[in-house]
Chain A
């Protein structure tokens, strides 16, 4: 394997952050835009590099590209330790892909105060790369906060309808969720006695000296609530549709597509392996909550939505239910399916938010009742929307199908009744997906659309919008046709749980 002369993970985190700093320090707009193009592309290229070389890379306890940087707090076990295992790598790649697409979409958006917009997105991007590259639990959390803060600001400044209320609600919920999660993570650190936030060390230590069952149950419950808020677990989800409805498109893409996965990711990487007894105690309640709440109730609520963006927001809440179900099973099939689904959903929901905004540019509305017949003036946009919708409802050939399938397979062994309800969700998502598609694209144009078209004749998807959409769609199709591109590493990471940890090479 050819190695880069620098640490690809640190570079992927630092480059967007440094670019943000440069832009903040007064770079002219023209140059800021150019720098932003590079800064969004670099993490993607590095993520592709890690994906390509992942198999052949030397690994310690399943982690490749391990490096450790001192923070001056080594005494209490905090260091910036970066690395990717088979679960982190696909999500690192997801962050690169969606970040690049969201960045490109932002660059063509002609947003007001574009420099600030790009700056905040770059901070988000750096934070997101950091989340999935961190082996240290505290840094995992830190990078999440780093990516989260810009969300609040972006919703507040560039948000659409109800942005004040949405931003407030988002802040309250997500801050609360993050605080609870942090409390849980610190408690694990404090009670484990490992004197380290290093996930590898924690795993090894807790494998030998597990926490007592009751404590595990409490900690897992705490984390489930805290992280559950972040991933919109029913009934803690109400911030999500509102927030996404108000958020500017690139921000919604990054948040719904990538950042939201932090909660699931932490459950999978931290909570489940470190607190196995806690997971066992919570598995059944979690499964029922996810299937009745997220899948069934939110599925029906999604059916009632009359606003395209709200509908996408609710459908995203619904699909998170499947990821929770996979985690509840605790098996390699189910958890692996959840990871696969996280990647697939991240790509498809980002694509949907992107397209929804492009639709809005042409229809001047998100109200489904007012739209119609967009496929005639904008066939390419309609084709993308068709692809994104069918990806979202789990058509084979798109990535989402594999994730859902694996979750269902695992779920049957867990409980056939839960499986039956979960699979019923597949019908519900077909109904709202196709209904929205028909309302936006097909049928004759509504009078309102004709009136708008007479003032601004709708044009088809421009190339500047097409490129980010193509990036996401290509990834969805590639994983749909060749799921092993990421399922092999996921399988390896889950089939052989990491136990042996050795000191990584210090740089």
Chain B
């Protein structure tokens, strides 16, 4: 099978599954599950064959639209970057599908759920394969739709309905910029094809900073960066496997992928903005995570923070590296961002699925202070979750350590201020994760659910084990160069690792921040039924809570006080002024002239007919030359 054909098959299999489920298996949840699972298996196998195969840069394209000078083709762009994300989507997607089979077993609406997952897989794969900004945008919108569908799964719950709406609208705000940037790009270059754009920029085309920044707006929405991050914590209303797949591992990472796809458009001013957006998001979200009681909310804010890390890494840009006696420029920002995206996809999907396993075991209890003592009752979940936590907080030897180090080193080399903020974020990360881990798993069971918890079977534990393995080995060079045959070298080679004195410094820093955060949490948080910091330092706690709520409050005020009032005012003017006065005035004129005032009397069909015929006759007469003006 030719690679282009295989890629098309991988892309279309989930679409076919979604169509079959939507139009035929709505009332057959078992069959729907099987169909979606089959599609996920096909995608996973196809993805790995493609990603680990030698074929790159094959082309396939089909023209969808041509109007005047504007043409639009859907095509495939498959380089190492796409291959890496493809492999991630394939593996994590399969894990989440398998997990969902167990997790959603009791749900009567699981046909809709699996249909939604299939649409999501299709849309996400479209982003991976996209060869133009326009195609990216098309699938970008479609992942937004599937995200809406899945967050809204329990649509009878008002919070779910609200959260899905919010997610879509906030993303649309980001897409406003994306679409404008796209249209600008099309106007300036006559194309949005990535290769053609790169060629144009190489050829010396001038790019205004506004263009990449407008495109970046899309990433701000999708990757939930400040100030458009508000949708992601609310999106936790969706079923937990969905949070793992969409709101942790893949869709939210699409923003990072978009940035890497357009890195050649970046000018220093744009990178500066991107850098600080990511840095501030990383710190802000870590601060928010500290006060959360809901296991999924902690992980959601953690995801925000880690996405901020990736965006900041990208914003740090390229690095001049001495190689023998000459220097050369490495796209270290792209490398570090994608590397962290990869390891994060593994350990964050693991953590979310672990949280799902915990929630499933505790009968849908999500408050960590009502859990406790799960280490003994859920041994597999506990072990794998612990690996996830350690990987996330950067324990040396685990995947997260390597990728975080690459970012910290890059920050150290390029921007000490950012380095300081990111190091502080790492302290907080260790703090809130150890807090979460200890309260959830250690001590005595503090709730009904936690007391009777037990593991949910191989469908739930299997994916956890696979992801745990990847969370350990996913950071090593030999994993990529040896096990994966160096197929992702186009990305992995641009990851810059510290050497010599820098290496020691970065290593010491990471260990120090890790120990500081973890120890702080261990000392402050006994595994108890209440929040110890909230009790001891209520003002600090309140401050953090206020910080977390500030954006939602501001947006809420804007919607209620500005947007809705403006709408009401305009509507009032519309009804009174335009609709009322003008038309009444017109009617008055008509009445005054006495012209057919009776004919306008409603329901009198004859009058209409007569008027019509009369007019027609007059026209005919005029046209035939019997009448002349």
Contact = CB atoms under 8 A, between A and B. Distances in A.
Chain B interface category by residue count = 35 or more
Contact of B180 (A300, A340, A405, A419): A419
B67 A238 contact: no
B65 A163 contact: no
A73 B621 CA distance: 10
A423 B69 contact: no
A333 B187 CA distance: 12
A487 interface: yes
Interface in A119-154: 138, 142, 145, 149, 152-153
B586 interface: yes
B184 A300 contact: no
Contacts of A184: none
B551 interface: no
B67 A301 contact: no
Contacts of B186: 409, 412
B321 interface: no
Interface string A327-343: 00001110011001000
B620 to A, nearest CB: 8
B201 interface: no
A438 B66 contact: no
Contact of A427 (B22, B176, B184): B176
Contacts of B179: 408, 423, 426
B155 interface: yes
Given A76-B625, A153-B608, A242-B579, A484 B63 contact: yes
Interface string B7-28: 0000000000000001000100
A483 B64 contact: yes
A434 B583 contact: no
A333 B152 contact: no
B526 to A, nearest CB: 39
Interface in A391-447: 395-397, 401-402, 405-406, 408-413, 416, 419-420, 423-424, 426-427, 430-431, 434-435, 438, 441-444
Given A149-B608, A434-B169, A491 B624 contact: no
Nearest to B134: A405
7 contacts: A153-B605, A235-B582, A333-B67, A396-B139, A412-B183, A423-B183, A484-B64
Nearest to B65: A483
A44 B233 CA distance: 49
Nearest to A387: B22
B183 A408 contact: yes
Nearest to A302: B567
A304 B68 contact: no
Nearest to A155: B602
State the 3 A-B residue pairs at the shortest beta-carbon distance, nearest first: A332-B68, A336-B67, A304-B571
A172 interface: yes
Contact of A494 (B64, B67, B582, B624): B67
A491 B68 contact: yes
Nearest to B589: A172
Interface string B170-181: 001101100110
B600 A168 contact: yes
Interface of B: 22, 26, 63-70, 72, 134, 137-139, 141-142, 145, 148, 152, 155-158, 160-162, 164-165, 168-169, 172-173, 175-176, 179-180, 183-184, 186-187, 563-564, 566-568, 570-571, 574, 578-579, 582-583, 586-587, 590, 600, 602-603, 605, 608-609, 612, 615-616, 619-620, 622-625
A406 B67 CA distance: 8
A482 interface: yes
A155 to B, nearest CB: 8
Contact of A73 (B66, B158, B624): B624
A304 B568 contact: yes
B64 A375 contact: no
A336 B141 contact: no
A483 B26 CA distance: 28
Contact of A301 (B180, B567, B590, B616): B567
Given A73-B623, A73-B624, A75-B625, A442 B183 contact: no
Residue of A163, A411, A430 with most chain B CB atoms under a 10 A cut-off:
A430
Contact of A397 (B142, B602, B624): B142
Chain A interface category by residue count = 35 or more
Given A396-B137, A409-B183, 14 more contacts: A156-B603, A172-B583, A172-B590, A303-B567, A333-B69, A340-B67, A375-B156, A408-B183, A412-B183, A426-B175, A434-B148, A434-B165, A443-B161, A484-B63
A297 B608 CA distance: 34
Nearest to B66: A491
B172 A443 contact: no
B183 A168 contact: no
B161 A172 contact: no
Contacts of B600: 168, 171-172
B67 A390 contact: no
Nearest to A187: B629
B127 to A, nearest CB: 12
Residue of B26, B65, B570 with most chain A CB atoms under a 10 A cut-off:
B65
Contact of A332 (B67, B72, B168, B571): B67
B180 A420 contact: yes
A490 B67 contact: yes
A197 B139 CA distance: 47
A373 B156 contact: yes
A172 B68 contact: no
A306 to B, nearest CB: 10
Nearest to B587: A172
Nearest to B63: A484
B624 A76 contact: yes
A363 B67 CA distance: 43
Contacts of A410: 68, 70
Interface string A239-255: 10010000000000000
Contacts of A434: 148, 165, 168-169
B261 to A, nearest CB: 18
